[in-house]
Structure 1
């Protein structure tokens, strides 16, 4: 079912481009509430409990996706509709760009109170003491990382594994946001979720970095910064995206990040000045360009991946039938 899957990925991307996230009854929010209930049932400050929590919370969506894929194996229209709906649900590109554009506008108008109030839509930093440059930096870093998490990675796993990939990736990424950060409660319990998210983002984060570089004004300089700085970040994946964005924009990211109750000092990425409001708008445009290429690559990969699977001489499958052609962290 390669063609229906590829069609669904493109259609879902276009739905996100046109409509953004559902304003009410968002399935990802519903999953988060269900995962919260599960956490209360199985929580203990041990890694073993975290493994159980992660396996159940990710395994159920994966199995649901596999079941739906099996049910629609011979129904291409239904399959395309399901994949489109799942893709729309798990993507967040339009919302990400809208938040960045809104932040850029507030900063351009000098409305720091509005900008500080908006930052919580993008990241978990304490905005109360941040000036224009620090608000812009936080936004650019969030756009860079979430271009992978909310756009490229879901499309990649949808291309590799169809419905189970779309749903499984979004489940794992949501769990990472919920329990994957270091704190007194999640220092051990959240390890499994954080490491699963790291593993699932290894390829997409690097692809995001390369796509960002491809649309930079000075690709050679952006590539140089990416190669030099990408491994300095404490996250094995966020550094790929942020270093590429720093090089593409010609700005310096990193520094001291203050969260509610804790702070971190991260290495600098890039050589330029701190970003400003114009760089926030440019980051949003780079994110949009990367997403547009990513969906084309995902559709092509899905066609190629499924088209070559199980074939023997003469274009038949292995049964002889002719084919018919989803902050500080644990590291």
Structure 2
């Protein structure tokens, strides 16, 4: 069935590229509403309650995906359709590029109120006092991180585990966005979701950085410089994963990311990533182009890996009682026995 998974991921990626996220009845939005209702029932300011919340919120949709996968085990077309729908639902490549394009356009027009008003679609920073370089920096950093979260990571887990992998990753990542951030309410309750999201992104974030190195020439970057910045700065970020994506993006674009981030009610000062000037509007467009290229490369890897696994399974699948060769031998023996009259 890995061939069906590969076909489904290809189709789902194409649908996302053509139409983007549905504006109404988005499955991820529906999951978020259900998770909010569950949180109201289970919330307590401790880690055990947060772990129970995460287990139920992730376990229920994953169980449904497992049932759907089992039901389509011998129906490759239905399986491909399911995986295509799941891939479309969990990807955000087109939406990410669209938001980046809006921010770039607003800054190019020097329309700071419009850019500040739109920044919330990309990240949770307080935009009220941000100037053009800081708005551009926030956008480039968000594009870098979300290239992993919204594109590479879902495809990676789809290649590993099919529909359940797609659903599990998006559920965990959504919970992390909802309760995984540091605040008085979620400091302990959100620990399980945040840690699980960190684990699921360990490989995809580094794969994103590696693909960014490979794709750097698309934006006139140098692979050697991108690799150097990634290796030097990727581990400096407080996140175990986001820094790798952002450092590689900074190296490819030749800009400097990091610095003081102001959120609503708190601020953080993060290490600088890269050696160049602060980003401008043009760098947002370059980041979006690089993100799209990385996404296509990740799709090729994910679909290719799933297809190879499917072909290997097909070659190695034995027939009953001894395998394909033994089955052929038995059929030939029966034919010879009938022909001889024995």
Partner of 2:285: 281
Contact 1:311–1:318, Cα closer than 8 Å, also in 2: no
Aligned CA RMSD, in angstroms, stands at 1.4
Partner of 1:172: 172
Following superposition, the deviation at residue 321 of structure 1 comes to 6.0
Following superposition, the deviation at residue 308 of structure 1 comes to 3.9
Partner of 1:142: 142
Q: Secondary structure at the match of 2:157?
A: helix
CA–CA distance in structure 2, aligned partners of residues 318 and 46 of structure 1: 53
Following superposition, the deviation at residue 305 of structure 1 comes to 3.3
Following superposition, the deviation at residue 3 of structure 1 comes to 1.3
Partner of 2:188: 188
Count of residues in correspondence between the two structures: 320
Partner of 2:157: 157
TM-score, length-scaled by structure 1: 0.94
Q: Does 1:65 align with 2:65?
A: yes
Structure 1, unaligned stretches of length 5 or more? 323-331
Contact 2:106–2:114, Cα closer than 8 Å, also in 1: yes
CA–CA distance in structure 1, aligned partners of residues 251 and 244 of structure 2: 11
Structure-2 change in CA distance of 1:263 and 1:317 (3 Å)? farther
Q: Secondary structure at the match of 1:316?
A: coil
Pairs within 5 Å for 1:109-128: 109-128=109-128
Contact 1:311–1:317, Cα closer than 8 Å, also in 2: no
Among 233, 244, 263, the residue aligned to 2:248: 244
Pairs within 5 Å for 1:247-262: 247-262=251-266
CA–CA distance in structure 2, aligned partners of residues 311 and 16 of structure 1: 33
Point out the structure with the larger helix share.
2
CA–CA distance in structure 2, aligned partners of residues 316 and 282 of structure 1: 50
Following superposition, the deviation at residue 316 of structure 1 comes to 2.5
Pairs within 5 Å for 1:44-63: 44-63=44-63
TM-score, length-scaled by structure 2: 0.91
Structure 2, unaligned stretches of length 5 or more? 325-342
Contact 2:3–2:311, Cα closer than 8 Å, also in 1: no
Q: Secondary structure at the match of 2:261?
A: strand
Following superposition, the deviation at residue 4 of structure 1 comes to 1.0
Following superposition, the deviation at residue 306 of structure 1 comes to 4.2
